[in-house]
Structure 1
Amino acid sequence: MPESPEVQAVVEQIGDRLAGHALTAVDVLEFRVVKTRSRPPESLIGSELTGARRFGKYLDLVFGEQHLVVSLGRHGWARWAGDAPTADQLPPALAILDFDDGAGLELTDAGGWVSLGAWVADDPLDVSGIAVLGPDPADPGYSRADFDGAFAGRRKQLKAVLEEQKSIAGIGNAYSDEILFAARLNPIAHASALDEAELERLFEQTVGVIRGAVDARRGIPMSELKAAKTAAMQVHGRAGEPCPGCDDTIRDFAFAGTTAQYCPQCQTGGQLL
């Protein structure tokens, strides 16, 4: 699942390359991608891209007073046309945006069901998923008060809160694993059970892991971002490997219909989840 550090790198590359260029063609190959049927992406043809922004895991392609908002969902991604070595080595493009400089931006989806979505709107907040987003820890203004608003006193598991977009924007399965490992906290402990020192540690690691990842991904080509993310993981996706912090082994546990990873010795007092 794309998360805020990689999505931030994508929007920066789109803005750097395409700002000032007009959209010349749109080819939607999967009709389910378009969520605003009365305002399809084709309605933006002829408009100039004036910038690109990120809201949580959403891309906002700004065309003057209009916005093309893209949710990459669970399996979506973006790539430049021509980046694929061969068509069968990458997931199919479900929508293609062509610009007057010859650049083509392809929006892909690798899942068995369509998770990619696109909206044309006058305001990104018109998209319901953006309207409910909580504060973003990648934002320099993100504060301990923002963090406490998500966690303080809540009888909800830490990993679930970290992935709850209305509480904290932009974090998914991978970075929640990384944050909890860095904070040396049990993923299934309730937020209400944390003492002040643990809350402060979790706040510092939430901000530190996300902002560090944003900085680390900046400038990496779109085609290499997923590999860079995977290579940087300490525990996520590394079940069966030695823990980088002790002599234990990274383990899997089931969470919200998927698997997550943790170190028993570092995070759960030796308890297997």
Structure 2
Amino acid sequence: MPELPEVEALKDFLTEHLTGHEIVRALPVAISVLKTYDPPLSALEGRTVTGVGRRGKFLALATDGGPHLVTHLARAGWLQWKDRLPDGMPKPGRGPLALRVALETGAGFDLTEAGTQKRLAVYVVQDPGEVPGIARLGPDPLADGFDEAAFAALLKDEHRQLKGALRDQSLIVGVGNAYSDEILHAARMSPFRLAAKLTPDETRTLYTALRETLTEAVERSRGLAAGRLKAEKKSGLRVHGRTGEACPVCGDTVREVSFSDSSLQYCPTCQTGGKPLADRRMSRLLK
């Protein structure tokens, strides 16, 4: 799933490649991708892109005096830039192509989604704030005003485990399954710790890990073409997706806890005092 660093890099890439260009065609290939119908997708055609913004994991394309094209790539969605789009109209089918946007230059991008669970979402709205998911977003962890005190205030009455709290977009935006693992590893904390139980020193440590992990990931992704972002994300991860490999900090074996539709990875030595975590349903350490 694209998370804050990748979406931020996509925003920068699209800002460079779209701003000042006219949208001549916007075609939904998978009709289920469209979550709004007024204004229609065709309202974007003939409009010039004036900027690209990011709201959490949402991308928002602004046009001159017209609507915004807002998208959330969900778990398996992606944006594929093409310097020259294929000629002709794309055909609806069972393939990954969900939506195509063409510019007057012949370039453009496709929104694609792999897998059978179709969660990629596209909205055409006058104001990005009209999108329900955006309206519910919490603060951005890389915003200038998001300081340690603001972070501590969010966790003060948060009686969930750290893993779930970090991933809650209504609490803090942009962090998903991968970077929550990375942040907790950097902070040397168990994903099962209760957020409200952190001491002030632990809160400071987690805040630092949050900001530094995301900032470093953004810097690694900055300037990369859209097609290289997935590989860059994977190469920079220390524990997420690395079950069975050696922890780069201590050398212990990275372990995994599986859920019904996802999993988390962690290092026992760095994060849980050397003890492997129990099954998620037990929510406690193995004795």
Q: Deviations over 1:141-169 (max 9, x none)?
A: 32123212321232110010100000000
Distance 1:109 1:219 in 2: 24
- Give 1:119's aligned residue: 123
> Aligned residue for 1:229?
233
CA distance in 1, matches of 2:28, 2:104: 18
What is the rounded CA distance, in whole Å, between the counterparts of 1:262 and 1:173 in structure 2?
12
Shift of the alpha carbon at 1:52? 0.3
Two-structure CA RMSD over aligned residues (Å): 1.5
Counterparts in 2 of 1:12-27, with a 5 A limit? 12-27=12-27
- Looking at structure 1, the residues matched to 105 and 12 of structure 2 have their Cα atoms a distance apart, in angstroms, of 18
Q: Which amino acid aligns with 1:54?
A: R
Shifted more, 207-216 versus 37-46: the winner is: 37-46
- Distance in 2, matches of 1:255 and 1:171, equals 18
Which 4+ residue blocks in structure 1 deviate beyond 6 angstroms? none
- Which residues in structure 2 correspond to 1:58-137 (within 5 Å)? 58-65=58-65, 66-81=67-82, 92-137=96-141
Instruction: Read off the aligned partner of 2:189 and give its amino acid letter.
Output: L
Query: How far apart are 1:246 and its partner, in Å?
Result: 0.9
Q: Distance in 2 between matches of 1:203 and 1:187?
A: 15
SS of 1:102's partner is: coil
Q: How does the TM-score come out when normalised to structure 1?
A: 0.94
Q: Contact (CA 8 Å) 1:40, 1:119: kept in 2 or not?
A: no
* Structure 1 counterpart of 2:44: 44
- Aligned position for 2:177: 173
Q: Does 1:192 align with 2:202?
A: no
Q: 1:238 aligns with which of 242, 255, 259?
A: 242
Deviation readout 1:12-33 (Å, 9 max, x if unpaired): 1111111011100112110010
The alignment status of 1:7 with 2:11, answered yes or no, reads: no
Q: What is the Cα deviation at residue 41 of structure 1?
A: 1.8
Match of 1:88 in 2: none
CA distance change for structure 1 residues 255 and 181 in 2, over 3 Å: closer, same or farther? Answer: farther
Amino acid at match of 2:6: E
Question: Matched residues in 1 for 2:205 and 2:84: separation?
Answer: 41
When normalised by structure 2's length, the TM-score is 0.89
5+ residue gaps in structure 1? 85-90
Structure-1 residue corresponding to 2:210: 206
Q: Which amino acid aligns with 1:30?
A: A
Alpha carbons 1:150, 1:161 under 8 Å: kept: no
- Are the aligned partners of 1:178 and 1:235 in contact in 2 as well (CA < 8 Å)? yes
Corresponding residue of 1:87: none
Q: Distance in 2 between matches of 1:239 and 1:68?
A: 38
3-state SS of the aligned residue for 1:50? strand
In 2, Cα distance between equivalents of 1:139 and 1:63 = 24
Partner SS state of residue 109, structure 2: strand
Mind listing any 5+ residue stretches in structure 2 that lack a counterpart? 86-94, 278-287
| Cα drift, residue 10 of structure 1 | 0.6
- CA shift, 1:39, in A, is 2.3
Change in Cα spacing, 1:205 to 1:111, as seen in structure 2 (3 Å) is: same
Residues 175 and 83 (structure 1 numbering): CA distance in 2 closer, same or farther, change over 3 Å?
Answer: farther
Matched, 1:31 2:31: yes
* Whole-angstrom CA distance in 2 between matches of 1:172 and 1:72: 12
Distance 2:225 2:74 in 1: 20
Matching residue within 266, 269, 272 for 2:273:
269
Deviation at 1:256, TM superposition (A): 6.6
The answer to whether the Cα contact below 8 Å between 2:37 and 2:124 also exists between their aligned partners in 1 is no
- How far off its partner does 1:140 sit? 2.6
SS in 2 for 1:180: helix
The separation in 1 between residues aligned to 2:190 and 2:260, in whole angstroms, is: 16
* CA 1:15–1:246: 2 relative to 1, 3 Å: same
